[in-house]
Amino acid sequence: MSKKKVTIKDVASHAGVSVAAVSYVLNGKAHKVSEETIGTIYESIKALNYIPSISARGLVKNTSELIGVIIPQTEEHKQLVFQNPFYSEMISSIESVVREYGYHIILAGVEKGKSYLDISISRNLDGAIIMGVYPEKLYEECKEADIPIVLIDSYIHDDYFTNVGIDDELGGYLATKHLIDNGHRHIAIVTGMIRRDGVVEKRFLGYKRALQEAGLFYNPDYVFEHSVTFDHGFKAGGHIARNNPDITAVFATADLVAFGVIRGLMENGNSVPQDVSVIGFDDIAWAGMLYPPLTTVKQSIAQKGERAARLLIEQLRSTDKKSTEGTHSLLPLEIVERSTVRKLNG
Amino acid sequence: MSKKKVTIKDVASHAGVSVAAVSYVLNGKAHKVSEETIGTIYESIKALNYIPSISARGLVKNTSELIGVIIPQTEEHKQLVFQNPFYSEMISSIESVVREYGYHIILAGVEKGKSYLDISISRNLDGAIIMGVYPEKLYEECKEADIPIVLIDSYIHDDYFTNVGIDDELGGYLATKHLIDNGHRHIAIVTGMIRRDGVVEKRFLGYKRALQEAGLFYNPDYVFEHSVTFDHGFKAGGHIARNNPDITAVFATADLVAFGVIRGLMENGNSVPQDVSVIGFDDIAWAGMLYPPLTTVKQSIAQKGERAARLLIEQLRSTDKKSTEGTHSLLPLEIVERSTVRKLNG
DNA sequence: TTGTAAGCGTTATCAA
DNA sequence: TTGATAACGCTTACAA
């Protein structure tokens, strides 16, 4: 019933040559084959519509032409954490560069108990890109996997990994400073969990540095720490509107959260930026599209994904595999002013 | 240098049995093996940390445990079309169900010239989920691939494929009728390209039916057809604000577009819904979060992805492979009223 | 320049 | 119950 698949053998016999010959021309070792046979072989390939099996090749070459992309997932539903467009934008750019080189992306969340190693080994991944922060254990596993790995937005200090990210501390500082420069003195921060070596921690540190530099008091009551979700922002915004009339500005450590804050504020009778100013972080595609257009710290998400992908490919292709290892490349940051921050008088 | 990978052979010799025995216990054919050896084998597996190679297994079983997920990509940048959260939401739900069954997802856009067949064959995909509408040619190729395929949001009539979607014509009708019921008479539609057998065409047909049923004149000048992008919505909104003061409501065939329309309207001095009402389609997660909260036709995106995934898995697991073939399952639709549609007096 | 054959890590058939 | 071993589709010494 089902079509028999055409193999290299079929091509060989159709062309009247050996499988080796076919393999040679397929692998660019055509110099080992006469022009003439090359011709007939290509004809046979076309005629039979032959497409090599990547797994079979992988078995012998120990490759898969597969790149694992690990992204965080929600605690509850074990769904990929795509509510945040940040990830989709990045994946999109990663996919388009690795595709240029014939790789495909395998998308996966990492289950709590389950190990990343499993998929890496069983799939024989050629490399991986890991976005976000995970338990220490994951990184240990990764090293064992013994394939090139690039980490996006992680502060793991280990020469094994190539890193790409931004200066999050600076970002936090810039955001807060922008608020301060606009006359704000009571500045809240709403953010995901602040964990060691996470981007959020750095942004938080930047926030504190800006405060300190301006001689402002750091008030723990002004930090709303929970998760990188719209909902958390929404609740925090509501809380601020109802209970913290002194707060005139908030720094949300992700645009997604910022929009939550804004809505929470609005639904509780505050307007943005008249009553309270909001600055976000990321500059997701939606940031400028929505209302009110969000003032935010821009990082080029697509560029980050692209950079990560290119660094990985580079390692994959270089013979020594070590070319970019340990690199920590930082992408630029920039405040983009739209309309959620207002200048305070006095 | 690089760790030698542990194979089934290693396990066998470590356990002092044959590879066959190991393979048996790994494949649930444990009844062929004594309790005792099963024990030692498991011990060796743990001890050596053995993880089977999926490619090797695939070679003999002719499987890959890989499911292709094809999504449209932008014309210009060949990026996956992730600007629309619709896709991310769906992929997330697909991934989480197939993972339950040990499959992984391979994400890919389909390049203009390139064939889908290539990846299907070379990767030996077990099945595929295809979202959106493509040139006829793609579907022909798919059939040749000879693996289970489920189509999401396609109106290809072919028993080879399992379909999951919604009644788009009804959706278009419902949206338009909602506007009409609220007193609107001059209703524009802003939409992506209307192509045969595409969801957009059906929604457009529903729009016309509602108009006709209400005895309203169908005005070709009221259809703004271009692409499913924020930008198109934005331009159309601007155009309407500036040149079509008679239009009091617009039906955007995607939420993404609807938000564009709203912004376009606003930037040109119109307010929503005071001056013009807007209804969207999809009910993406953002729809209710943003300002103004969007009135829209809700389809359960996650449910759609999940349904598609489950149907595919079902086919993959059933022996005859034909169980759900030709099925066209329709998911429910529902208007969710938020605040972008206003009731007109008189 | 061409072909033979070993081997990649599995599964599954067939004997033992 | 167990174990050799052929086969899966391919690459690559090595021979011819």
Shared fold status for B8-61 and B66-166+302-331 = no
Q: In what order do the strands lie in the sheet with B333-336?
A: B223-226, B187-192, B249-252, B277-282, B295-299, B333-336
Q: How far does the CA of B165 sit from the C1' of C8, in Å? A: 43
Q: How far does the CA of A208 sit from the C1' of D15, in Å? A: 73
Give the closest nucleotide to A32 (alpha carbon vs C1'): C1
Contact at CB, B51 and A118, closer than 8 angstroms: yes
SS3 labels along A291-319: ECCCEEEEECHHHHHHHHHHHHHHHHHCC
- Distance (Å) from the alpha carbon of A176 to chain B's nearest alpha carbon: 24
pLDDT of res. A1: 43
Task: Quickly name the fold that domain B66-166+302-331 has.
Answer: Rossmann fold (3.40.50)
- Distance (Å) from the alpha carbon of A55 to chain B's nearest alpha carbon: 5
pLDDT of res. B2: 52
Give the closest nucleotide to B27 (alpha carbon vs C1'): C11
Q: Which of residues 2-31 of A touch strand D (CB under 7 A)?
A: 5, 7-9, 19-20, 22-24, 26-27, 29
Contact at CB, B55 and A59, closer than 8 angstroms: yes
Task: Quickly name the fold that domain B168-299 has.
Answer: Rossmann fold (3.40.50)
pLDDT in tens, chain A (346 residues): 456 789 999 999 999 999 999 999 999 887 778 999 999 999 999 999 999 999 999 999 999 999 999 998 877 777 778 888 999 999 999 999 999 999 999 998 877 767 888 999 999 999 999 998 888 888 888 888 889 999 999 998 889 999 999 999 999 999 999 999 999 999 999 999 999 889 999 999 999 999 999 999 999 999 999 999 999 999 999 999 999 999 999 999 999 999 999 999 999 999 999 999 999 999 999 999 999 999 999 999 999 999 999 999 999 988 655 666 678 899 999 999 999 999 998 6
In A, minimum Cα distance to B305 occurs at A79
Contact at CB, B77 and A96, closer than 8 angstroms: yes
* Residues of chain A neighbouring B160 (CB-CB closer than 8 A): none
* Closest Cβ–Cβ partner in A5, A56, A106 for B104: A106
The total of other beta-carbon atoms located within 10 Å of residue B229's CB is 18
- Supply the pTM of this predicted model: 0.93
Contact at CB, A104 and B95, closer than 8 angstroms: no
Element (H, E) at A336: strand A333-336
Contact at CB, B82 and A91, closer than 8 angstroms: yes
Contact at CB, B289 and A124, closer than 8 angstroms: no
Residue B271: half-sphere exposure toward Cβ, Cα within 13 Å: 4
Rounded CA Rg of chain B? 26
Residue B256, chain A, CB below 8 Å: the answer is no
Structure-token match 């391979």, residue found:
B106
- Tokens at residue B326, please? 């030709």
Residues 160-189 of B with CB under 8 A from A: none
Q: How far does the CA of B48 sit from the C1' of D2, in Å? A: 22
* Residues of chain A neighbouring B286 (CB-CB closer than 8 A): 286
> Given the DSSP bridges, would you call strands B295-299 and B333-336 parallel, antiparallel or unpaired?
antiparallel
Which residues make beta-bridge pairs with B130? B70, B151
8 Å CB contact between A120 and A143: no
How far, in Å, CA of A341 to CA of A81, rounded? 28
How far, in Å, CA of A142 to CA of A62, rounded? 18
Query: On chain C, which bases lie within 7 A of the protein's CB atoms?
Result: 1-5, 7-13
In B, minimum Cα distance to A73 occurs at B92
Residue B118, chain A, CB below 8 Å: the answer is yes
* Closest Cβ–Cβ partner in A51, A80, A302 for B122: A51
Residue A96, chain B, CB below 8 Å: the answer is yes
How far, in Å, CA of B132 to CA of B198, rounded? 8
Rounded CA Rg of chain A? 26
How far, in Å, CA of B145 to CA of A53, rounded? 14
* Closest Cβ–Cβ partner in B58, B80, B92 for A55: B58
Q: What are the domain boundaries of chain B?
A: 8-61, 66-166+302-331, 168-299
**Tens-place pLDDT, residues A297-322:** 999 999 999 999 999 999 998 865 56
The answer to whether strand D lies under 7 Å from the CB of residue B290 is no
Contact at CB, B291 and A124, closer than 8 angstroms: no
Residue A91, chain B, CB below 8 Å: the answer is yes
- Tokens at residue A249, please? 């500005």
pLDDT of res. A232: 97
Residue B55: half-sphere exposure toward Cβ, Cα within 13 Å: 24
**Tens-place pLDDT, residues A164-209:** 999 999 999 999 999 999 999 999 999 999 998 899 999 999 999 9
Residue A163: half-sphere exposure toward Cβ, Cα within 13 Å: 21
- Tokens at residue B13, please? 């010799």
Give the closest nucleotide to A36 (alpha carbon vs C1'): C1
A4-42 burial code (b ≥16 CB/10 A, e <16): eebbbebbbebbebeeebbbbbbeeeeeebeeebbebbe
Count of pairs with CB atoms under 8 A, one residue in A, one in B = 158
* Residues of chain A neighbouring B82 (CB-CB closer than 8 A): 85, 88-89, 91-92
Contact at CB, B55 and A58, closer than 8 angstroms: yes
Question: Who contacts B46 (Cβ-Cβ below 8 Å, separation ≥6)?
Answer: none
Which residues make beta-bridge pairs with B252? B190
**Tens-place pLDDT, residues B60-95:** 999 999 999 999 887 777 777 888 899 999 999 999
Query: On chain D, which bases lie within 7 A of the protein's CB atoms?
Result: 1-5, 7-13
pLDDT in tens, chain B (346 residues): 456 789 999 999 999 999 999 999 999 887 778 888 999 999 999 999 999 999 999 999 999 999 999 998 877 777 778 888 999 999 999 999 999 999 999 998 887 767 888 999 999 999 999 998 888 888 888 888 889 999 999 998 889 999 999 999 999 999 999 999 999 999 999 999 999 889 999 999 999 999 999 999 999 999 999 999 999 999 999 999 999 999 999 999 999 999 999 999 999 999 999 999 999 999 999 999 999 999 999 999 999 999 999 999 999 988 655 666 678 899 999 999 999 999 998 6
How far, in Å, CA of A281 to CA of A333, rounded? 10
pLDDT of res. B1: 43
Task: Quickly name the fold that domain A8-61 has.
Answer: 434 Repressor (Amino-terminal Domain) (1.10.260)
Mutation for B interface: A99, A230, A278, A325, most B CBs within 10 A? A99
The answer to whether strand D lies under 7 Å from the CB of residue B76 is no
Contact at CB, A124 and B53, closer than 8 angstroms: yes
* Residues of chain A neighbouring B301 (CB-CB closer than 8 A): none
pLDDT of res. A72: 85
Residue B60, chain A, CB below 8 Å: the answer is no
